[in-house]
C-alpha cells in the first residue's frame, strides 16, 4: 500500500521542484518515503509515460464515476499495474481500493483493446517514442581497473561502429580513450564492475571536457561545478594519485552525491570537495591551478529521458530563462578565466541553445578583462579535431575569423550523435606575462556580485536546478 500511496504523491506533484528522480532520491535520503526509491521511480515514470492512454481508458470505463472513493492519481497507478505491466498485478493485499479497480477489470481490458484497435497497434508500446539513450556509454575508471581486465570480464563481442551495436556487443570509442558503448539493453549497471567503481556510466559527450582539458599526471585543476562528479572523476583519472582536483559544488545535497561518487571511484585522495559557490572563491588561493572545467547549470535542452515528466516543457527554454542562465554562465566562466596560473579553461553545457553556448563565448571574447588576460578560443586542432559537429559559424559573425572560432567549439546533437546534446569550448593562453595576467581586482568585482546582482544574473536557485546531468546520474544504483 505504501508503494501506491507514496507513488500517488509524486504523481500529483509532477512537474514541480526538479526532476522526478531527484525528488524521489531526496525524499528517500530524508527518509520521507518508505518504499525502495528504485521501485517508486519505475512505477511513477512508467505511469507518466502511459498517462494519456490510461486516462482515456479510465474515462471510457467511467471508473471514477462508478468508484467515488477512488481518486485519479491512485486510479492511474492501479490501472497502470493492471493493464500495462507484464504481471498484470496490483501489488497490494486485498483492500477495498484494489477491489474498486478489480471489479471493473473486464471493462478496463475492453477499453484497452478498443484503444489499440483505434491506433492500429498490437501493443501501446508502439505509440511511445522510447525516450532513452541510443547507446549506453561507460568509461573504464583507470584509477581502479585496466581496460583489458574489464573487457575480459564483460566478455562482449567488439564491433567496429556504433551502428552495429546490439545486445552482446561492445564498441570502443574512437574519440575518447577508455570509453565504450553498449546497447542500452545491456545491464551494465548490474555488474560487479559498476558496483565496485571500475566502470562509470558517462555519456560520450560528457567525457569531452576532461579529455579536452587533458591535464597531465600530477597537475592541479579545478572542477567548478562538480556534482554528481562524472567530470571530476574523469579529471582525477587524468591527473592520477600525484595530482589534485578541487571540486566545487554549491548544493549541499548534490555535494553529498559528489562525495559518494568520488569515494566509489577511488579518487578521495585526489579530490577535495569544496561545498560552496565557485564564484566566491579567491583565485589567489589557487596559484598552482593550471586548468579548470566549468560545466554549470544549464537548461539541459540536450538531454532526454524526462519528456514524460514535463508538464510545460516550453517554459524550460523560454527566452527569459535562457537569458538568465546565459548571464550566470558568463559570470562563472569569467571567474574561471581569472585564475592566475590557469592556461586552459573548458566551458561546457548539455544545452543545444546558442544563447548558452556560442553567445556566452562571444560575450567572453568581447570582455575587456578576458581580452587583457590573453584568453582566446583554441583552434580546432586542440579540441577533438576529428569530431564532425562544430560550433555555429553564424554566431561568430562580426569577428574576423568566424569559421575558426566555430571550429574551436564542439557540439553534439541529442540521439543523432549517439547520446546527449552537448557543447564544449576550450579557452587557452600561452603564458602569464604581465600583459597576459588577469586583472584580478576588476575580475573579482565583475565575478563576485552582490546577492541582488546574483539574483538578477539568474544564478539558478537549487530548487529550480535543471538536472542537466540526469541521464548520467545513476542515483539509485
Ligand atoms: N559536471 C557535473 C558532472 O559532470 O557530473 C555536472 C554539473 S551540473 C551541470 C551543474 C552543477 O553545478 C550542479 O550540481 C549545481 O548545483 C552546480 N553549481 C551551479 N552553480 C554553482 C556555483 N556557482 N558554484 C558551484 N557549483 C555550482
* Domains in the chain: ranges and CATH: 2-127 (no CATH), 136-201 (3.30.70.1170), 206-475 (3.40.50.150)
Which of 70, 62, 54 lies closest to 112 in space, CA to CA? 54
Comparing 271 with 476, which gets the higher pLDDT?
271
Residue with cell 556534482: 227
Q: What is the pLDDT of residue 131?
A: 59
Kindly compute the dihedral angle of the four CA atoms of residues 368, 374, 376, 379, in this order, to the nearest 10 degrees. 170
Q: What would the mean pLDDT of 284-307 be, rounded to a whole number?
A: 90
pLDDT-derived band of residue 71, with 50, 70 and 90 as boundaries? very high
Q: Where are the beta strands (DSSP E) in 329-379?
A: 344-349, 376-377
The CA 159 to ligand 1 mean position distance, Å, reads: 35
Q: What would the mean pLDDT of 154-165 be, rounded to a whole number?
A: 93
Max intra-chain CA distance, the chain = 81
pLDDT-derived band of residue 18, with 50, 70 and 90 as boundaries? low
Q: What would the mean pLDDT of 460-474 be, rounded to a whole number?
A: 37
Distance (Å, whole) CA 464 – CA 469 = 14
Q: What is the pLDDT of residue 312?
A: 56
Q: What is the pLDDT of residue 304?
A: 75
Distance (Å, whole) CA 333 – CA 329 = 6
The CA 345 to ligand 1 mean position distance, Å, reads: 16
Q: What is the pLDDT of residue 5?
A: 92
Q: What is the pLDDT of residue 120?
A: 83
Comparing 383 with 125, which gets the higher pLDDT?
383
Half-sphere exposure of 386 (CA within 13 A, CB side): 4
CB distance 223 to 247 below 8 Å: yes
Distance (Å, whole) CA 117 – CA 437 = 70
CB distance 297 to 322 below 8 Å: no
Does ligand 1 come within 6 angstroms of the Cβ of 254?
A: yes
Does ligand 1 come within 6 angstroms of the Cβ of 297?
A: yes
Atom of ligand 1 nearest to the CA of 296: 10
Distance (Å, whole) CA 252 – CA 34 = 23
Q: Give the residue ranges of the annotated binding site for S-adenosyl-L-methionine.
A: 225-231, 249, 277, 295
Catalytic residues: 350
Q: What would the mean pLDDT of 136-144 be, rounded to a whole number?
A: 97
pLDDT, one tens digit per residue, over 232-244 is 999 999 999 999 9
Distance (Å, whole) CA 134 – CA 140 = 20
Contacts 24+ apart (CB under 8 A), 57-60: 57/83, 57/108, 57/111, 57/112, 57/115, 58/108, 60/111, 60/114
pLDDT, one tens digit per residue, over 84-132 is 888 899 998 899 999 999 999 999 999 999 998 988 888 877 776 665 7
Residue 311 has pLDDT above 60, yes or no: no
Amino acid at each position: 500500500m505504501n508503494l501506491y500511496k507514496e507513488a500517488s504523491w509524486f504523481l500529483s506533484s509532477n512537474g514541480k521542484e526538479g526532476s522526478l528522480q531527484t525528488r524521489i532520491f531526496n525524499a528517500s535520503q530524508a527518509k520521507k518515503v518508505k518504499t525502495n526509491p528504485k521501485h517508486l521511480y519505475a512505477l511513477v515514470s512508467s505511469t507518466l509515460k502511459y498517462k494519456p492512454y490510461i486516462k482515456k481508458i479510465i474515462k471510457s470505463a467511467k471508473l471514477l464515476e462508478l468508484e467515488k472513493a477512488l481518486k485519479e492519481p491512485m486510479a492511474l497507478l492501479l490501472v497502470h499495474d493492471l493493464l500495462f505491466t507484464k504481471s498484470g498485478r496490483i501489488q497490494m493485499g486485498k483492500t477495498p481500493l484494489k477491489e474498486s479497480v478489480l471489479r471493473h477489470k473486464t471493462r478496463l481490458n475492453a477499453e484497452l483493446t478498443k484503444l489499440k484497435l483505434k491506433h492500429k497497434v498490437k501493443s501501446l508500446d508502439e505509440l511511445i517514442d522510447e525516450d532513452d539513450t541510443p547507446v549506453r556509454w561507460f568509461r573504464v575508471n583507470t584509477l581502479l581497473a585496466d581496460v583489458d581486465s574489464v573487457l575480459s570480464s564483460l566478455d562482449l563481442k567488439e564491433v567496429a561502429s556504433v551502428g552495429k551495436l546490439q545486445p552482446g556487443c561492445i564498441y570502443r570509442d574512437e574519440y575518447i580513450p577508455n570509453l565504450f558503448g553498449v546497447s542500452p539493453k545491456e545491464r551494465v549497471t548490474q555488474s560487479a564492475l559498476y558496483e565496485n567503481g571500475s566502470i562509470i556510466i558517462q555519456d560520450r559527450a560528457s567525457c569531452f571536457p576532461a579529455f579536452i582539458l587533458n591535464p597531465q599526471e600530477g597537475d592541479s585543476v579545478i572542477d567548478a561545478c562538480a556534482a554528481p562528479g562524472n567530470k571530476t572523476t574523469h579529471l582525477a583519472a587524468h591527473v592520477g594519485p600525484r595530482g589534485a582536483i578541487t571540486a566545487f559544488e554549491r548544493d549541499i545535497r548534490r555535494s553529498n552525491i559528489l562525495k559518494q561518487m568520488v569515494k566509489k571511484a577511488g579518487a578521495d585522495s585526489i579530490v577535495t570537495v569544496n561545498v560552496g559557490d565557485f564564484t566566491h572563491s579567491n583565485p589567489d588561493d589557487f596559484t598552482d591551478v593550471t586548468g579548470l572545467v566549468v560545466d554549470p547549470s544549464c537548461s539541459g535542452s540536450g538531454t532526454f529521458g524526462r519528456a514524460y515528466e514535463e508538464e510545460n516543457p516550453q517554459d524550460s527554454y523560454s527566452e527569459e530563462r535562457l537569458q538568465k542562465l546565459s548571464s550566470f554562465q558568463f559570470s562563472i566562466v569569467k571567474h574561471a578565466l581569472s585564475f592566475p596560473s590557469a592556461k586552459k579553461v573548458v566551458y561546457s553545457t548539455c544545452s543545444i541553445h546558442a544563447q548558452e553556448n556560442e553567445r556566452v563565448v562571444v560575450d567572453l571574447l568581447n570582455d575587456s578583462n578576458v581580452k587583457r588576460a590573453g584568453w582566446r578560443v583554441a583552434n580546432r586542432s586542440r579540441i577533438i579535431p576529428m569530431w564532425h559537429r562544430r560550433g555555429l559559424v553564424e554566431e561568430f559573425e562580426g569577428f574576423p575569423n568566424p569559421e575558426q572560432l566555430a571550429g574551436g567549439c564542439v557540439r553534439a546533437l541529442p540521439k543523432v550523435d549517439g547520446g546527449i546534446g552537448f557543447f564544449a569550448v576550450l579557452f587557452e593562453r600561452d603564458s602569464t606575462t604581465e600583459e597576459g595576467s588577469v586583472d584580478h581586482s576588476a575580475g573579482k568585482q565583475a565575478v563576485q556580485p552582490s546577492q541582488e546582482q546574483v539574483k538578477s544574473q539568474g544564478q539558478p536557485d537549487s530548487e529550480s536546478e535543471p538536472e542537466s546531468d540526469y541521464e548520467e546520474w545513476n542515483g539509485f544504483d
